[in-house]
Structure 1
Amino acid sequence: MTFDLKTALKYIILFLTGVGVLYLAFRGQDLGKIWLEIKTANYFWVITSAFAVWIAHVLRALRWQMLYQSIHYKVSFWNAYHAVMIGYLANLALPRFGEIGRCSVIHKAEKVPMFASIGTVITERLFDVLVLFLTGLAMLIFQYDIVSDFLYDTIYLNIAKKINTLNYWWLVGIGIVVLLLIVSAIYFLRQKFSKKFLRIFVSLRQGFGSYSKLRQKRLFLIYTLLIWVFYSLSMYFAFSSIQATSGLHFNAAFTAIVFSGFAMAAPVQGGIGVFHWMVAQSLVLYGISFKDGLAYSTIIHSSQVLLILILGSLSLFLILTKKESK
């Protein structure tokens, strides 16, 4: 009961943090004008943007299925797809819970060991982080004159200010304590649950090794690149939904996807608040007012959340009814 209460409080705090960031982003803005832009948006382009995101989800399921095949688990495409959509649905409620949730779906539907699935998820996430890092690096190289001032004034100076106020001895002490706790936990697990710990380690290693055993590594990398291309296209298509952003080119979508990628890494349900602020800030670099950037980010975030709510719920319904029929 205590653990449940602590867990609930943690997620409530994270949710309230996201709401707080959302409030700070919209504070002082003309909400009436923002709502008018949203209400009069061209929803053909909003739907087109959401469709591009859905294609990225389909590609993610295909890529994940490849990792299972490499370690000799026959996971059907539809179970992989439903698991991905249910995972995104779970992330709207509990941040980072979706990764465990989709592994659980595959475990129940295909009898794949949980930790083998977790290993494959971590593997594909590492490739996503690599692409995000390379995309960010490309943004710095090719659009340095546009993003340099923002990175220096907003990011570097704030971080430097916080670092200067830190007590380094506290950091060293915390680092030593964390290291000791990790070593103690590993030792305790190996002593008390040696056989179970070994099975977990073997399953994780199997999942981690899934990429190295792929026969079609090039196809896996193509899927990975296409996922991020369609994410960028979703940003680009949505530019045409409102007048203020309709003149932006693909380079602005390229920058927006980098900013939104870091925003979605924040441990907040659905990236609420952080996504809006980061995307709006990215468009300011291209001469778009922060108000119009907020209208744009609200439209694209809401369309993606609605997509997940509809398709994620449908996938959950199909998985549950399939289980009951069996």
Structure 2
Amino acid sequence: MTLDLKTALKYLILFLIGVGVLYLAFKGQDLGKIWEEIKGADFFWVIASCLAVWIAHVLRALRWQMLYRSIHYQVGFWNAYHAVIIGYLANLALPRFGEIGRCSVINRAEKVPMFAAIGTVITERLFDVLVLFSTGLAMLVFQYDIVSDFLYHTIYLNVVNKLSTLNYFWLASFGLVALLLIFLGAYYLKQKLSKKMLRVFVNLREGFGSYGKLQQKGLFLTYTFAIWFFYCLSVYLAFLAISATAQLPYQAAFTAIVFSGFAMAAPVQGGIGVFHWMVAQSLVLYGVSFKDGLAYATIIHSAQVLIILILGSLSLFVILTKRTNRK
């Protein structure tokens, strides 16, 4: 991936949007009290929360390794692990670049075709999306009385108000132009890049088919649910770090992980701003003030970013050292 001026500007704009959301989230809040809450946090529980997230990363590497084995690539655990961590590190700089980055690490370290690797990543991400949506559905079913007011007033009414101000003629025109460009692009690729695209398609199909060829699908699903269990556990353990959230039930962690999951899907580096706002809003549903919710979100986000910076730098050093030794 070449980072030209246009791409750099796009990522800069996305970063500034994240900073803007962060500013709006903290605007009007008593920053002194938030800082006092953060300084008074019990960092034993913050470290325990980070450990739970790290276990989830290890499980993700093991799960990814299974997909490679199913399509006959013997990817070592440590290469898979380092690639996963480097991917998270890359996401802090460029949103969504981490998926390509970790595939590139495996391509260089294990000689796995790039698009086969991408196919495996898309496959495992689809399972993560299914778990996230299933968790969100369960949240609606079992905690409807808690989340319904937020969904109606904060989400539904805002969406309706925005839609009511749209010019549908221009929206329809934009949609038709987009469809036309898609068809023209597909025709061009078919005519000009047919052989290359065929190889890409074959490699992608190999990666997509990795789950179907698994001998231990039960173990793969166990890893998937365990990853999300440790994500929820990390959120819950961090509750214990500050007094304002220490009494929250595990159901609150369940809700916060759904909100944070959708926040991290936003194309903003590290979910900055969006993560803070969404997590704080999720805790408000359980009687926590928005100010204390922001303090909690700041603690858990900062801790997770720090751990990725440390572990990602170590993994990058290990991978680069291996490549140097081979030369």
TM-score band, normalised by shorter chain? over 0.9
CA distance in 2 between counterparts of 1:119 and 1:178 reads 26
State the match for 1:184 in structure 2.
Answer: 184
Matches within 5 A, 1:87-236: 87-236=87-236
2:244 aligns to what SS in structure 1?
helix
CA distance in 1 between counterparts of 2:176 and 2:216 reads 43
Alignment gaps of 5+ in structure 2: none
State the match for 2:300 in structure 1.
Answer: 300
CA distance in 2 between counterparts of 1:101 and 1:184 reads 29
Give a deviation string over 1:121-166, Cα, whole Å, max 9, x none.
1111111111000000000000000000000000000001111111
1:177 deviates by 1.8
Alignment gaps of 5+ in structure 1: none
State the match for 2:71 in structure 1.
Answer: 71
**C-alpha distance 209-237 of structure 1, shift in aligned 2 (>3 A):** same
CA distance in 2 between counterparts of 1:162 and 1:222 reads 41
1:171 deviates by 2.4
1:173 deviates by 2.0
**For residue 293 of structure 1, what is the amino acid of its counterpart?**
G
* Greater Cα offset, 48-57 or 180-189: 180-189
State the match for 1:260 in structure 2.
Answer: 260
CA distance in 2 between counterparts of 1:79 and 1:169 reads 52
**C-alpha distance 225-16 of structure 1, shift in aligned 2 (>3 A):** same
CA distance in 2 between counterparts of 1:168 and 1:107 reads 46
CA distance in 1 between counterparts of 2:178 and 2:313 reads 39
Q: TM-score, normalised by structure 2?
A: 0.98
CA distance in 1 between counterparts of 2:192 and 2:151 reads 49
**C-alpha distance 128-324 of structure 1, shift in aligned 2 (>3 A):** same
CA distance in 2 between counterparts of 1:279 and 1:315 reads 29
1:172 deviates by 2.2
State the match for 2:37 in structure 1.
Answer: 37
CA distance in 2 between counterparts of 1:3 and 1:248 reads 44
CA-atom RMSD in angstroms: 1.1
Give a deviation string over 1:14-55, Cα, whole Å, max 9, x none.
001000000011111111111111111100000000000000
CA distance in 2 between counterparts of 1:44 and 1:153 reads 37
CA distance in 2 between counterparts of 1:202 and 1:226 reads 31
State the match for 2:47 in structure 1.
Answer: 47
CA distance in 1 between counterparts of 2:140 and 2:220 reads 26
Matched, 1:24 2:19: no
**For residue 229 of structure 1, what is the amino acid of its counterpart?**
F
CA distance in 1 between counterparts of 2:296 and 2:3 reads 39
CA distance in 2 between counterparts of 1:85 and 1:173 reads 42
2:4 aligns to what SS in structure 1?
helix
Give a deviation string over 1:192-234, Cα, whole Å, max 9, x none.
1221111001001111111111111111111111111000000
**C-alpha distance 94-222 of structure 1, shift in aligned 2 (>3 A):** same
* Greater Cα offset, 173-182 or 243-252: 173-182
Q: TM-score, normalised by structure 1?
A: 0.98
Give a deviation string over 1:168-205, Cα, whole Å, max 9, x none.
23222222222222222222122212211110010011
1:243 aligns to what SS in structure 2?
coil
1:167 deviates by 2.1
1:3 deviates by 7.3
CA distance in 2 between counterparts of 1:185 and 1:204 reads 19
Q: How many residues align?
A: 325
2:248 aligns to what SS in structure 1?
coil
